């Protein structure tokens, strides 16, 4: 009788009355017994629905575990259904995900070659010692990082996007979105051995190695177009200076021709020639030292001892030139100052001096430019592919087994958590005191912030 619910007892008591099989004098005792059973049932149900904290108070750990297992066993159908549902969903998701393949290309680090400029210094004559410091190899600190930056540049990425029509492949409308997708699919790193590794992930087994090898092609093209080495930067610098010197030489020749026509002088005496040669040599040395210092500042700071020494030498050369060009000479000078040249040929001397100066500068820059160009040609083919990218024979993602396992575990744990939380809420609501508090909390939350005005 204790296992029967209140509804069953009420049904057993009311059914005979409705059929008319019990006398009227027996209805009252039956109703009284039914009331007693209902009271006993309510008391037992109240005791069984106490909060978990009251049940666990004073009970050993084994009893608590058993209580949890009992709660879970009552809702085992819900837990199994949620777990099986998660298994089916995870299997469908894992099967719908497309395979992705990763292709990797490995290139050797850039090799630094010895400069050829030192072999041509002897051809500069008197300017050789002054220009020697400009021919030092000032290589990059870490060329690998420079190459990685070039591979990740916008120029290389845009060329790859146009070459493989990645806007259509990635289903993007803007180039910026396609660049972002390409960067996410590509990994360019420098390994511990110093090798540069280029990995590309793609849905197409054949397109992944093609993009990885195309990265190497773009790197070769960029190194040919840009002056990324010390020799390339020197070549670019001397090329610009040589163009300026060529224009200055043409202007000096034209000016000397006009002076000859105006003064009628076509030859000078030995003293004037000695003065002109001395001034020209000093000005050529000053120009060479200025070019040398400018080339050194491309890779060095002002605190470099070589830069400081070059600045001191440049100051000394300028002082000697100023003394030689003064109107009056110093005692003991073996050459005549420029003020002693006859007045009729002074203008001619100046134009001839400018011409010789321009010729010396042009000759020096031409030799420097040829040396830098030969160095750049020697260091151009420095990119060597160690392992070209090939079509992968297995997929790199997705990990379907891991996806299914994680989703099944999530479904099981989620259903268990739901059952435990539902049971705890049910017990809290069964407690009259807690139920009153919950009602009060709900009423306070639904109450407006400001009471209505009277």
Can you tell me the mean pLDDT for 143-147? 80
Q: Is the pLDDT of residue 318 over 70?
A: yes
Can you tell me the mean pLDDT for 279-306? 77
Instruction: State the Cα–Cα distance between residues 250 and 5, nearest whole angstrom.
Output: 119
Q: What are phi and psi of 101, to 5 degrees?
A: -120, 145
Percent of the chain with pLDDT over 70: 66
Other Cβ atoms less than 10 A from the Cβ of 410: the count is 14
Count H helices and E strands in the chain, helices first: 17, 4
Q: Say how many Å lie between the first and final Cα of the chain, rounded.
A: 59
- The structure tokens listed for 29 are 């005792």
- By the 8 A CB rule, do 233 and 140 touch? no
Can you give the pTM of this predicted structure?
A: 0.49
Q: Which of 32, 22, 24, 19 has its CA nearest to residue 9?
A: 32
Please report the pLDDT score of residue 217 as a whole number.
92
Q: SS3 for 237?
A: helix
Question: Which carries the bigger pLDDT value, residue 147 or residue 56?
Answer: 147
Instruction: State the Cα–Cα distance between residues 14 and 6, nearest whole angstrom.
Output: 12
Please report the pLDDT score of residue 34 as a whole number.
39
Least confident interval from 54-63, 90-99, 200-209: 54-63
Question: Which carries the bigger pLDDT value, residue 21 or residue 112?
Answer: 112
Instruction: State the Cα–Cα distance between residues 438 and 446, nearest whole angstrom.
Output: 12
Please report the pLDDT score of residue 273 as a whole number.
62
Please report the pLDDT score of residue 4 as a whole number.
47
Q: Based on the number of CB atoms within 10 Å of its own CB, is 168 exposed (0-12), middle (13-18) or buried (19 or more)?
A: exposed
Please report the pLDDT score of residue 61 as a whole number.
66
- The structure tokens listed for 407 are 């989703």
Burial annotation 372-381 (CB, 10 A radius, 16+ → b, else e): bbbbbeebee
Please report the pLDDT score of residue 452 as a whole number.
57
Instruction: State the Cα–Cα distance between residues 165 and 214, nearest whole angstrom.
Output: 13
Pairing of strands 186-190, 101-107: unpaired
What single string gives the DSSP state of each residue in 299-366?
T--TT-HHHHHHHHHHHHHHHHHHHHTSSSPPTT-SS--GGGS-GGGHHHHHHHHHHHHHHHHHHHHH
Residue carrying the six token digits 């430019």: 369
- By the 8 A CB rule, do 116 and 449 touch? no
Instruction: State the Cα–Cα distance between residues 423 and 317, nearest whole angstrom.
Output: 97
Question: Which carries the bigger pLDDT value, residue 186 or residue 294?
Answer: 186
Q: Is the pLDDT of residue 290 over 70?
A: yes
Confidence of residue 211 (pLDDT cuts 50, 70, 90): very high
Q: Is the pLDDT of residue 32 over 80?
A: no
Please report the pLDDT score of residue 411 as a whole number.
93
pLDDT tens digits for range 420-442: 999 888 888 788 887 788 788 87
Q: Provide the residue count of the chain.
A: 454
Instruction: State the Cα–Cα distance between residues 305 and 309, nearest whole angstrom.
Output: 6
Please report the pLDDT score of residue 168 as a whole number.
94
Can you tell me the mean pLDDT for 244-263? 81
What single string gives the DSSP state of each residue in 103-123?
EEEEEPPPPP---SGGGGGGG
Distances, alpha carbon 107 to alpha carbons 71, 155, 209, 328, 382, in Å: 62, 20, 14, 67, 10
Across 271-275, 411-415, 427-431, which has the greatest mean pLDDT? Answer: 411-415
Q: Is the pLDDT of residue 225 over 80?
A: no
Contacts of 233 (CB under 8 A, 6+ apart): 227, 298
Instruction: State the Cα–Cα distance between residues 66 and 26, nearest whole angstrom.
Output: 46
Cis status, amide bond into 398, omega within 30 of 0: yes
Q: Is the pLDDT of residue 386 over 80?
A: yes
Q: Is the pLDDT of residue 138 over 60?
A: no
Query: 209: part of which helix (H) or strand (E)?
Result: helix 207-225
**Angle made by CA atoms 417, 420, 424, in degrees to the nearest 5:** 135
pLDDT tens digits for range 323-344: 776 643 433 343 444 454 455 4
Confidence of residue 59 (pLDDT cuts 50, 70, 90): low
């Amino acid at each position: 009788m204790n296992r029967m619910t209140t509804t069953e007892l009420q049904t057993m008591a009311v059914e005979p009355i409705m059929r008319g099989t019990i006398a009227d004098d027996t209805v009252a005792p039956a109703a009284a017994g039914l009331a007693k059973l209902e009271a006993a049932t309510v008391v037992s149900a109240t005791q069984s629905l106490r909060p978990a904290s009251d049940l666990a108070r004073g009970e050993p750990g084994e009893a608590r575990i058993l209580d949890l297992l009992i709660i879970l066993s009552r809702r085992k159908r819900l837990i199994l259904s949620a777990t099986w549902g998660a298994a089916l969903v995870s299997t469908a998701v894992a099967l719908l995900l497309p395979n992705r393949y990763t292709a990797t290309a490995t290139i050797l680090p850039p090799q630094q070659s010895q400069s050829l400029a030192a072999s041509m210094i002897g051809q500069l004559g008197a300017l050789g010692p002054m220009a020697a410091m400009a021919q030092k190899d000032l290589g990059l600190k870490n060329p690998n990082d420079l190459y990685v930056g070039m591979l990740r540049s916008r120029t290389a990425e845009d060329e790859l996007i146009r070459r493989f029509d990645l806007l259509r492949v990635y289903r993007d409308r803007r180039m910026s979105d396609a660049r972002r997708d390409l960067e996410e699919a590509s990994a360019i790193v420098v390994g511990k051995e110093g090798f540069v590794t280029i990995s590309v992930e793609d849905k197409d087994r054949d397109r992944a190695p093609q993009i990885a090898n195309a990265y190497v092609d773009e790197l070769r093209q960029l190194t040919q177009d840009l002056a990324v080495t010390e020799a390339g930067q020197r070549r670019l610098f001397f090329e610009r200076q040589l163009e300026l010197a060529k224009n200055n030489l043409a202007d000096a020749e034209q000016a000397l021709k006009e002076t000859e026509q105006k003064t009628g002088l076509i030859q000078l005496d030995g003293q004037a020639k000695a003065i002109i040669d001395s001034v020209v040599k000093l000005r050529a040395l000053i120009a060479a030292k200025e070019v040398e210092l400018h080339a050194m500042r491309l890779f060095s700071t002002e605190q470099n001892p070589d830069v400081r020494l070059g600045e001191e030498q440049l100051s000394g050369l300028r002082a000697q030139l100023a003394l030689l060009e003064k109107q009056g000479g110093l005692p003991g000078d073996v050459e005549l100052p420029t003020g002693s040249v006859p007045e009729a040929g002074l203008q001619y001397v100046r134009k001839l001096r400018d011409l010789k100066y321009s010729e010396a500068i042009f000759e020096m820059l031409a030799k420097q430019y040829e040396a830098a160009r030969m160095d750049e040609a020697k260091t151009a083919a420095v990119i060597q592919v160690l392992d070209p990218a090939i079509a992968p024979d297995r997929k790199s993602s997705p990990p379907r087994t891991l996806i299914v396992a994680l989703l099944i575990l999530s479904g099981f744990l989620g259903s268990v958590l739901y059952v435990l939380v539902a049971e705890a809420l049910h017990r809290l609501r069964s407690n009259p005191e807690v139920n009153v508090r919950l009602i009060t909390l709900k009423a306070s939350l639904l109450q407006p912030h400001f009471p209505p005005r009277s």
